[in-house]
Structure 1
Amino acid sequence: MLQQFINRKYELEFLNDKYNENKRELIIIYGRRRIGKTMLIKQFIENKKYIYHLCTLDSMEDNIDSLKNQFSIITGKGYFNDLKSNFYEVFKYFIREIESDKIIIVLDEFPNLIALNHGIISIMQKIFDELMDTTRLYIILSGSSISMMEDELLSYKSPLYGRRTGSLEINGFNINNIKYFYNSNIDDLIKINAVFGNIPFYLSLIDKNKSIEENIKHKILKKGEILYEEPKILLKEEFKEPRIYEMILRHISLGHNTYGEIVNGTHMDRGNISKYLETLVSVKLINYILPLNQKRRGIYEINDYFLNFYYNFVYPNLSDLEINRVNDVMEIISRDINTYYGHAFERIIIDMIRNNIIELPFKPLYVNRFWHKEVEIDAIAANDETKEMAFIECKFKDNIDGTRIFNDLKYKSLKVDYNRNKEYYIIIAKSFKTKSDGAINIDFNALKNLVIA
């Protein structure tokens, strides 16, 4: 659907700019499963001369045979199907036939070829170095396994290092884009963001005509639905030991978010747990957060909103869901989901500030949560160069006493050790009973104008 291409303007312009350079190109496109890589690529190659091949795990010969058939069709030369299944040789004859013709070749899910034959990376290097020099061939290597794409294709140790002419990491949407998947008020959009996250495919499954609670029941809790199994499939595709990673995610969702708490909760060796945590951070499934000006005592949090929801509410109730007790599980979720929305709201506001949807009086270079000893602040924004700072409190509630919150926020700000020349106080809530003259007060009417209008 066209909605999948919302917020892909930069990516399409980048790919088209490379296309218009009229020289050989080797572009790496990567991003997690369901992020919209293939849809982006198909949008880009539309109305251009291209070959699209989805790499499979069947066999290397099967993949080459498929390419030979497509090479035969696009060149009109039947002899390609008679060639031996040799990747380099097939490309050599193809390039000889097309000469300076402008053609795109997409090898989607390229990590599948790496799994079949690790030497394929060196073969691609040889094709680029020896065959493509005087061509306008435009090759795209795409993949969902972030760890494999980064380690095997983007690392300086890769044979392709220095050959790629561009790379794109495809990220999820922000709340400004989510509005196209669920036309509603800002309150509901925040809830949708908190539950379904920012992955285009997940958002495309939402039924606009049903409430958020009904969407949770029918799209996430119902056995057989795509999202019911999605986290397990995601972990199996990315990791060799998905059970361990799932255990870690579950403990982080329970609030065991310091290194020591994760070690104690999982009962794993400290050295081993470090390796798994570093891997989860590298593929962006979790974040490691350090408070401003702190070098240790950080915490881990699940980066993806949908995974966070899943391990908070779905995973603990899988036994009941397996016997179709969806309504019973929904009652359990309903008791705690408002607290979950409140925590998610804080993170969503941080995302909105980082994406300049909420503009501060200054340009922040740092935006994140803050905690130190007994002090906790929902978000702090700072600029080391201008020495400006903002203290931000987020309340997913109505009728907030802004004066009381401002006084409390100002007191907590005194505990933050940071050299600043100017500071601001910002309170964001559904609605205010009283507003503070000392703070910037943002209610949901103002947020609606930033997101929905």
Structure 2
Amino acid sequence: MAFYNRENEIRRLSKALSSTQAKLVVLYGRRRCGKSTLIRQILPDDSFYFMAPQADEAIQRAHLANVVAGKIKGFDQVVYPDWESLFTNLQNSLTPYSSCVTLCLDEFPYLAKSSSSLPSILQKMMDQLKQRKFHLVLCGSSQQMMQGMVLDSTAPLYGRSNEILKILPLEAGWIMDSLNCNPVQAVEEYATWGGVPRYWELRKEYHTYEEAVKEAILDRLGILHEEPIRLFLDDMRESVQAYSILSVVGKGSHKLSEIAGRLNRPATHLARPLNRLIQLGYLTREIPFGESLKSSKRTLYKVADSFMNFFFSFVSPNLSRLELGLTEQVYENMAPKLNTFFAHEWENLCRRSVPMAPISGLSFGQAFRWWGPNINGEIMELDLVAESVDKQHLLVGECKWTDVIDSTPILQELSRKAQLLPALKNRSIIPALFVKSMRKETDNSFQLFTPEQVLARLKR
């Protein structure tokens, strides 16, 4: 698979690893997001790259010694009783080198799990070996463990990293290049697979969208059929609880009281797991435009990740039937609902695209939905509202995953709603339509965005 984006990550990694002084670099993030591919992309030829196995620490040390022996002859002829002896010998073996080489420990949490003292050993090594001859790159998919080892103020490695890079899923703008599809298809594919590069790679193995969904996701033997459980096992002590929360949110329970009721648990007991799922990028809190997360009483919880949203919308509710092998039946039942699902994901992409580049010569902040009583007390909803950086303008948008023939009635209704928005406060309104397609317009009174334009804004 081609390597997409990551220019900023590559720049920062390359700068750190080209230094004449030894650096500690930490990469972490969700599994399958391309961390290992990224680090292998930029490692110099004289580097040591070690993918840690899930094994006893003595086996792990022996495997690492074999890797080092590929460039330092005889390094694996020694039995290392502990990590200190291995790193000491590595330092001594590298003394003749004129510059620092790089040692990458991939899946570092496996090493730390086998030897809980390893982070402290590394801390001691970095504190005492001021002239260390190797950069150290720690890479891992267990976000909880990686964060705990480098971001927790009580952790041995806290404050010692020169770079800490969280590798996120790719934005939607890159999927069109990867899957070689048109913009409309790209939105629908991204709504299904999200931004994880490995999922895109799997999608490319199938000729059609339908075949890919059936074989990779719905089929009980599909490679992604149990993906959420695997991800939660990486990062959550209570993986069953995480799965349950996303299941009820995916089925339409978005208020805290609704989630607690569906799970038959006090709302106060859900604060920690909800916050953890938000930190991991699987859940998000949605508030109306103009309100604060701390004070809003209208907070809604939504599945943040597109693939997870697809899974908990269509797979989780049908697990019993899928276990019986009724893949075709489940797909036939979900197919009529896909367009509505794509429409919701289209809204998310539209809002995410707003701050990425100027609109009508103006820069805008984060875009939100708005819902609630308008200035006349009537319940109203707007798909997209964003404030300009100069605070003088509001972008107010309607998002439709349909082929629009006549924009006039949509714009009239949008204008009417915008004038009734309580948060308007004398700011000028810039109307915008985000549509699947539209018959050619001559009206320049509004901003028009199609999938091609939205995806272009998200290609960064």
- TM superposition shift of 1:126: 0.7
**C-alpha contact 2:29 2:142 (8 A) present in aligned 1:** yes
Residues 1:355 and 1:227: Cα distance change in structure 2 (over 3 Å): farther
Residues 1:449 and 1:259: Cα distance change in structure 2 (over 3 Å): closer
The match for 1:249 is 246
The match for 1:441 is 448
- TM superposition shift of 1:152: 2.1
The match for 2:83 is 87
> 3-state SS of the aligned residue for 1:252?
helix
- TM superposition shift of 1:69: 2.8
Deviation digits for residues 317-361 of structure 1 (CA, Å, limit 9, x no counterpart):
1222222211101111112111111111101112233444x8553
The match for 1:429 is 435
**In structure 2, distance between residues paired with 1:269 and 1:189:** 41
Q: CA RMSD in A?
A: 2.2
Of residues 372-381 and 157-166 in structure 1, the stretch that sits farther from structure 2 once superposed is 372-381
**C-alpha contact 1:427 1:440 (8 A) present in aligned 2:** yes
**In structure 1, distance between residues paired with 2:304 and 2:78:** 50
The match for 2:376 is none
Unaligned runs of 5+ in 1: none
**In structure 2, distance between residues paired with 1:116 and 1:272:** 32
Residues 1:232 and 1:432: Cα distance change in structure 2 (over 3 Å): same
- TM superposition shift of 1:81: 3.4
Counterpart residue type for residue 375 of structure 1: M
**C-alpha contact 2:172 2:455 (8 A) present in aligned 1:** no
Q: 1:416 aligns with which of 399, 422, 425?
A: 422
Q: Are positions 1:59 and 2:56 aligned together?
A: yes
**C-alpha contact 2:249 2:303 (8 A) present in aligned 1:** yes
**In structure 1, distance between residues paired with 2:454 and 2:367:** 18
Q: Are positions 1:284 and 2:281 aligned together?
A: yes
- TM superposition shift of 1:217: 1.6
> 3-state SS of the aligned residue for 1:74?
coil
The match for 1:381 is 386
Counterpart residue type for residue 383 of structure 1: S
Unaligned runs of 5+ in 2: 374-378
Which consecutive aligned stretches of 4+ in structure 1 deviate over 4 angstroms post-superposition? 433-437, 444-452
Residues 1:51 and 1:339: Cα distance change in structure 2 (over 3 Å): same
> 3-state SS of the aligned residue for 2:364?
coil
Counterpart residue type for residue 442 of structure 1: F
- TM superposition shift of 1:243: 1.2
- TM superposition shift of 1:410: 1.9
Deviation digits for residues 44-74 of structure 1 (CA, Å, limit 9, x no counterpart):
11x4211111223311111122223333442
**C-alpha contact 1:350 1:367 (8 A) present in aligned 2:** yes
Deviation digits for residues 249-301 of structure 1 (CA, Å, limit 9, x no counterpart):
01111121111111111111222211110110111111112222213121111
Of residues 219-228 and 409-418 in structure 1, the stretch that sits farther from structure 2 once superposed is 409-418
The match for 1:108 is 106
- TM superposition shift of 1:208: 6.9
**In structure 2, distance between residues paired with 1:447 and 1:73:** 48
> 3-state SS of the aligned residue for 2:174?
helix
- TM superposition shift of 1:384: 4.9
Residues 1:144 and 1:438: Cα distance change in structure 2 (over 3 Å): same
Residues 1:384 and 1:450: Cα distance change in structure 2 (over 3 Å): closer
**In structure 2, distance between residues paired with 1:35 and 1:92:** 33
Residues 1:350 and 1:448: Cα distance change in structure 2 (over 3 Å): closer
Count of residue pairs brought into register by the alignment? 446
> 3-state SS of the aligned residue for 1:155?
coil
Q: How does 1:141-156 map to 2 (within 5 A)?
A: 141-156=138-153
- TM superposition shift of 1:185: 1.7
Q: 2:257 aligns with which of 257, 260, 274?
A: 260
Q: How does 1:192-211 map to 2 (within 5 A)?
A: 192-207=189-204, 210-211=207-208
- TM superposition shift of 1:234: 1.2
Residues 1:395 and 1:17: Cα distance change in structure 2 (over 3 Å): same
**In structure 1, distance between residues paired with 2:454 and 2:255:** 33
**In structure 1, distance between residues paired with 2:180 and 2:331:** 23
> 3-state SS of the aligned residue for 1:28?
strand
**In structure 1, distance between residues paired with 2:214 and 2:445:** 43
**In structure 2, distance between residues paired with 1:185 and 1:447:** 13
The match for 2:348 is 347
Q: How does 1:163-202 map to 2 (within 5 A)?
A: 163-202=160-199
The match for 2:306 is 305
> 3-state SS of the aligned residue for 2:399?
strand
Counterpart residue type for residue 401 of structure 1: D
**C-alpha contact 1:147 1:282 (8 A) present in aligned 2:** no
> 3-state SS of the aligned residue for 2:320?
helix
Q: How does 1:388-403 map to 2 (within 5 A)?
A: 388-403=393-408
- TM superposition shift of 1:409: 1.6
Of residues 434-443 and 328-337 in structure 1, the stretch that sits farther from structure 2 once superposed is 434-443
Normalised by the length of structure 2, the TM-score is 0.91
Q: 1:38 aligns with which of 36, 40, 54?
A: 36
Normalised by the length of structure 1, the TM-score is 0.92
Q: Are positions 1:97 and 2:102 aligned together?
A: no
